[in-house]
A and B are shown apart, each in its own frame.
Chain A
Amino acid sequence: MRLLLAYSLRNLRTRKITTALTAGGMALVLFVFAAVLMLDSGLKQTLVSTGEDANAIFVRRSAEVEIQSMVDRRQAGIIESQPEVLLGSDGAPVVSKEVVVLIALPRQGSGQTSNIVTRGVGAAVLTLRPKIHIAKGRMFRPGSNEIMIGGALVGRFTGLQEGSTLRFAQRDWQVVGQFDAGGSGFDSEIWGDNAQFMQAFRRDAYSSVVVRLASRAGFNSIKARLESDRRLTVEAKREGVFYEEQSRLMSGFIQILGVTLSVLFSVGAVIGATITMYAAVASRKREIGALRALGFRRSSILVAFLAEAMLLGMVGWVVGLSLASLMMLVKVTTLNWASLSELAFRFVLTPGIVLQSLCFAIVMGFLGGFLPALRASRMKIVDALRAN
């Protein structure tokens, strides 16, 4: 078996140019395939990491995203006084009553505008979301017109940096700090004082209320109690789940698009492999005849040529995946369909993608090699030996 495998591998190495061209076609397909999956996993990772499982988010019932949601002050008061909510060192509940509004800002360079999420948050927001820390400058002072910006915004929007002044909602806002949310969706947001934002945007209700739970297990009881409370019109979700659900629609679309594209492209690559392998079989008829004469069965010939084609696919896999992994250096922004705002994220290569693309490569090789291998295995020995 080892020798027959060496036979297949060395035959690929012998015809370097055809191998390179054929494997190159497969590499291209695998690049697209892996890159799309990496895009998807990067997006998912960004959105999912936005939420914390120890937090519960309350939004208006059946509001899928925060900009559709309204939670009035009275309801917010009830939510934050529940026993499951963690109390801070000052004895106050760790809660952030948030107001989320989209604003349009001019993008760096092109001057076209894009939507950005502005989020009015409570003073305890950094206790609530411990993964977020101030990277530059400082936290805004509660009750002031100071704001902080997420790290992913820097350089993407005109004049958006620490120390600058930003105008929106008919007011001037002082950018006093920049925060790092670890590549999550918050990194593409502007944060300020919730009371100030409500005034400026003329809102009288919050978009959501986020509380830190004293224990994760407390979620079920607070959810059950508040969702059945007649005074309230809210729905509770774990924050992690809330953001993961937001990613589903986009993720589903990307996956379907990516897989469809890859499969379409792969038809070309498979045909290329078929042509290459047919040529290989035709030029090695006498070898095939000799192998059969020596006592190798038809099935061994089939396996040897299939192996050769699958190895060809694996060469394409190595090249395609190497190229795709370079995409991890690229940072991309896209419109978050759920919030209709811009979202920055990276391509993320996961072990799952490595494995899936390998399977794809092997399947392409198999399909491309099947008919030629079948022809090789079906040749009559005497005819094969008479070939020149």
Chain B
Amino acid sequence: MSILPRTGAASGADVLIALRHVSKSYRRGGQIIPVVSDITFDIRRAEFLALMGPSGSGKSTLLNLIAGIDTPDGGSITMGGADITRLPEAELADWRAANVGFIFQFYNLMPVLTALENVELPLTLTRLGRRDRRERALLALDLVGLSDRVRHFPSELSGGQQQRVAIARAIVTDPTVLVADEPTGDLDRQSAEDVLAIMQRLNREMGKTIVMVTHDRRAAEHARSIMQLEKGELSQRVELPHD
């Protein structure tokens, strides 16, 4: 698979998330460490974007800002015209529940809940009744090929299976955007392929917008576009041709 450079600019119509002059620094022992500085770019609807870069380059920080679990020091992040950086704490939580699906490197499933219950968990934040929740959770687990593991606890599942449960949990609320931070970072090659194939399918067949952080080129090649983050600055977007 070859990587051919194309234009990185998004046309105005299909922009889903717009970042404008976003910067974030952390304070460590009286010292201020800038992590991302003055970043401006768009994420298009139905895009599958891979954010790449060396360790410590600020990929996770940028992703956390997009996902609304961290707030920038400056700049704005808008989605559907609303600036999420201005939302108060509780409203931001509701916004995440409705709009963001999370896939973490270490799955972060609740160990005391079964696969089904883990997937059902974010639905308890919706108005769905118990039966509907159950039904949708089962559907999501079916989508990631784990229909036969619904009563299993995370400790009874392999890493790859746990990550698939996490994907089911991320998509069960039908969020606007999926964010994934090194989703294959803890998986063997085969499991990683399975997980990436599912994400690819979610993007192509269901039009899910996905932002994935990875430092693994092979993982990034499953995306449709790649951006490089280095020393707090973002490179041009590279579009990947797929079949």
Q: Which residues of A contact B61 (CB under 8 A)?
A: 382
Q: How far is the CA of A7 from the CA of B108 in the complex (A)?
A: 14
> Chain A's nearest CB lies how many Å from the CB of B150?
14
B108 A286 Cβ-Cβ under 8 A: yes
> Chain B's nearest CB lies how many Å from the CB of A98?
67
> Chain B's nearest CB lies how many Å from the CB of A2?
8
> Chain A's nearest CB lies how many Å from the CB of B113?
6
Q: Which residues of A contact B94 (CB under 8 A)?
A: 295, 297
Mask, B87-129, CB within 8 Å of A = 1, is 0011001111110101010101111110001001110110000
Considering only residues 280-297 of chain A, those with a C-beta below 8 Å from chain B are 286-287, 289-297
Q: Which of B14-22, B63-71, B75-83, B183-191 contacts A (4 or more CB under 8 A)?
A: B63-71
Q: Which residues of B contact A296 (CB under 8 A)?
A: 93, 97, 125
Out of A287, A293, A297, which one reaches B69, CB within 8 Å?
Answer: A293
Q: Is A126 an interface residue (CB 8 A)?
A: no
Q: Which residues of B contact A297 (CB under 8 A)?
A: 89-90, 93-94
| Size bracket, chain A contacts | 20 to 34
Q: Is the interface of B mostly helix, strand, loop or mixed?
A: helix
Interface contact tally, CB-CB below 8 A: 78
B102 A11 Cβ-Cβ under 8 A: no
Among B67, B93, B100, the most chain A Cβ lie within 10 Å of the Cβ of B93
Mask, A1-35, CB within 8 Å of B = 1, is 11110110011011000000000000000000000
Using a CB–CB distance below 8 Å, which chain A residues touch chain B? 1-4, 6-7, 10-11, 13-14, 286-287, 289-299, 380-382, 385
Q: Which 5 A-B pairs have the closest CB atoms?
A: A295-B97, A290-B108, A10-B112, A381-B69, A295-B96
Using a CB–CB distance below 8 Å, which chain B residues touch chain A? 61, 64, 67, 69-70, 89-90, 93-98, 100, 102, 104, 106, 108-113, 117, 120-122, 124-125, 130, 169
Can you sample 25 A-B contacts with CB below 8 Å?
Answer: A3-B113, A6-B117, A7-B112, A10-B112, A11-B112, A14-B112, A286-B108, A287-B111, A289-B108, A290-B104, A292-B93, A293-B100, A293-B102, A294-B122, A294-B169, A295-B94, A295-B100, A297-B90, A298-B89, A381-B64, A381-B69, A382-B61, A382-B69, A385-B69, A385-B108
